Amino acid sequence: MTTFAAPTEPLVRIRGLTTVLNGKTIFDALDLDIPRGKVTAIMGPSGTGKTTLLKHVTGQMRGDAGQVLVDGQDVPELSREKLFALREKIGYLFQNSALLTDFDVFENVAFPLRQHTQLPEVLIRNIVLTKLQAVGLRGAAGLMPAELSGGMARRVALARAIVFDPMLILYDEPFVGLDPIALSQVLKLIRTLNETLGITSVLVAHELEAIKQVADHVYLIANGKVVAQGDPKTIAEDGSPWTRQFFGGAIDGPVPFQYPADDYAQALGLAGARA
């Protein structure tokens, strides 16, 4: 029987998540909570599994051990039908916006409604225009993706992500490639939508200054675990070697510059020459 979390419980609760891909441990008994109605940022060095974590939340991937609960539902244990029903409550903003190049802005936002509902055309029109108005692009409904700036494309993708009024939105690198004006617009939208619609938001990002403006809480993930967490305005000052390297941009530290390798001299065939 499907269970649902109490309103005071975290919307997403991850316990003991262990994932191994191609012999590499991505998550090592990871524990993490995403509170309801808040903006939570997931940060960490490249290759630490931040986007992979989002795939676990949406049921695109299953861990080797542990639990992933979304609104009280154990995601890996859901039937195909119940998983699809859960996904309709989750909006996803892709890093590259992932707009359909042959559809105009209106049809890009309308696409999920046409695919998953049988709503009359007049209702689809009203919903789409409402979402485009929310992101400030109702006047761009007839434009093609090629006519949009990077910031406009990101906002159209956000309108599409909220077309079903989701309880949760997952943002995968939403700030990449944005100029300062577009970045400010997207930051304002994330915060405004979170507050006005009561949405829970999860951001995977690297830009601490942007995160400081929008997030309520930050998790820093490395080596398969949470190595630091806290307020985005103070987490960089916690003094741990992980935060010092990641937020300070140090070349070497807990994340080494050199990828593990055999003895360098031996690899060059110099070991015998030395002897």
- Predicted confidence (pLDDT) per residue in 27-53, tens digit: 999 999 999 999 999 988 888 889 999
The count of C-alpha atoms lying within 13 angstroms of the C-alpha of 130, restricted to the half-sphere facing its C-beta, is 11
Contact 53, 221 (CB under 8 A): yes
Q: How many H-runs (helices) and E-runs (strands) does the chain carry?
A: 10, 10
Summarize pLDDT for 228-237 with one digit per residue, the tens: 899 988 887 7
Mean pLDDT in residue range 49-72: 93
Report pLDDT for 239: 66
Report field, pTM of the whole predicted structure over 0.85: no
Summarize pLDDT for 85-137 with one digit per residue, the tens: 999 899 988 877 889 999 999 999 999 999 888 999 999 999 999 999 989 99
Contact 31, 226 (CB under 8 A): yes
Report pLDDT for 6: 56
Dist. CA 241–CA 255, nearest whole Å:
10
Domains of the chain: 36-56+80-248 (3.40.50.300)
User: In terms of pLDDT, which residue wins out, 196 or 217?
Assistant: 217
Q: How confident is the model at residue 177 (pLDDT cuts 50, 70, 90)?
A: confident
| 55: enclosing H helix or E strand | helix 50-57
SS3 label, residue 10: coil
